[in-house]
């Protein structure tokens, strides 16, 4: 949505809803569609005096997520737990139940003419580091996967090779995927949720460990044996 390209370091948590939107790659159809939808709603709100609230989550995980959660669970069950970089950053993701509670808060809020956007980008404290997040998933699943250290330099080389290959095979398409993945796995979650807390009184009802337990409840391996 925001078009950020940098890998944010730990301690950087200042991206508010007023952060200037950056250019998006032509191939990033998902982000472009979200931005276009917001723009249409913003224009309609300005013309017709409508009350419009946009909820801006980051990567969502949870019980019915077939992308991030399903793939992570599958890798852990295969006995693979990546240890990427120092692992001290906080991943830019949020539990589906916390997003749902923010939607309810928006629906319950008194109608105010105009457009208002809210970041919904974190679970309730305590915050887990990247390493703790993956370990909590493994523990909740009852598996003890082998930790495989993946050097940051290897990821950067892989991303460069992927980008070069995609430019040759599919010019102008998918070359931003690798950089986005690297930014997600190595970068800090920089998005502020101060606005929705102050204006709508929203507080995420689920902390990350509770959310992970709920997300993996149907996928536990009996006995906690090594996958």
- pLDDT tens-digit series, residues 91-126: 999 999 999 999 999 999 988 889 999 999 999 999
On the question of pLDDT at 193 being above 50, the answer is yes
H or E, element range at 124? none
What is the DSSP code (8-state) at residue 2? -
Q: State mean pLDDT over 116-143.
A: 94
pTM for the complete prediction? Answer: 0.82
CATH of 29-215, picked from 3.20.20.70, 3.40.50.720, 3.40.50.300, 1.10.390.10, is 3.40.50.720
Length of the chain: 227
On the question of pLDDT at 182 being above 90, the answer is no
What is the DSSP code (8-state) at residue 105? H
Residue 180's pLDDT is what? 64
| Domain extents in the chain | 29-215
Residue 162's pLDDT is what? 46
Q: What confidence category does residue 12 fall into, taking pLDDT thresholds of 50, 70 and 90? A: low
Q: What confidence category does residue 2 fall into, taking pLDDT thresholds of 50, 70 and 90? A: low
Residue 133's pLDDT is what? 94
Q: State mean pLDDT over 155-166.
A: 55
Residue 79's pLDDT is what? 87
Calpha distance 150→19 (Å, rounded)? 32
Q: What confidence category does residue 227 fall into, taking pLDDT thresholds of 50, 70 and 90? A: very low
With pLDDT > 90 as the criterion, what percentage of the chain qualifies?
39
Q: Where are the strands (E) in the chain, listed by range?
A: 51-57, 59-61, 80-84, 93-95, 114-120, 146-150
Q: What is the three-class DSSP state of 85? A: coil
On the question of pLDDT at 159 being above 60, the answer is no
Look at phi and psi of residue 143 and say left if phi exceeds 0, alpha if psi is from -120 to 50, else beta: beta
Strands 59-61 and 146-150: unpaired
Residue 25's pLDDT is what? 73
Per-residue pLDDT reduced to its tens digit, 54-96: 999 999 999 999 989 998 999 899 887 877 778 888 999 999 9
């Amino acid at each position: 949505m925001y078009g950020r390209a940098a890998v944010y370091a730990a301690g950087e948590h200042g991206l508010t809803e007023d952060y200037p939107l950056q250019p998006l790659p032509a191939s990033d159809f998902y982000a472009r569609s979200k931005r276009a939808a917001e723009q249409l709603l913003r224009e309609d709100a300005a013309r017709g005096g409508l009350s419009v609230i946009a909820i801006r989550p980051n990567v969502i995980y949870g019980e019915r997520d077939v992308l991030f959660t399903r793939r992570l669970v599958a890798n852990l069950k295969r006995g693979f737990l990546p240890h990427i970089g120092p692992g001290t950053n906080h991943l830019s993701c949020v539990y589906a139940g916390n997003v749902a509670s923010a939607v309810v808060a928006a629906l319950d809020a008194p109608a105010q003419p105009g457009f208002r956007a809210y970041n919904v980008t974190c679970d309730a404290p305590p915050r887990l580091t990247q390493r703790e997040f993956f370990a909590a998933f493994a523990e909740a699943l009852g598996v003890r996967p082998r930790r495989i250290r993946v050097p940051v330099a290897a990821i950067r080389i892989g991303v460069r090779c992927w980008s070069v290959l995609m430019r040759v095979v599919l010019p102008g398409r998918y070359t931003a995927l690798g950089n986005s993945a690297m930014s997600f796995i190595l970068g800090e979650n920089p998005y502020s949720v101060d606005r929705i807390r102050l204006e709508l009184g929203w507080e995420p009802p689920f902390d990350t460990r509770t959310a992970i337990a709920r997300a993996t409840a149907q996928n536990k391996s009996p006995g906690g044996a090594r996958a």
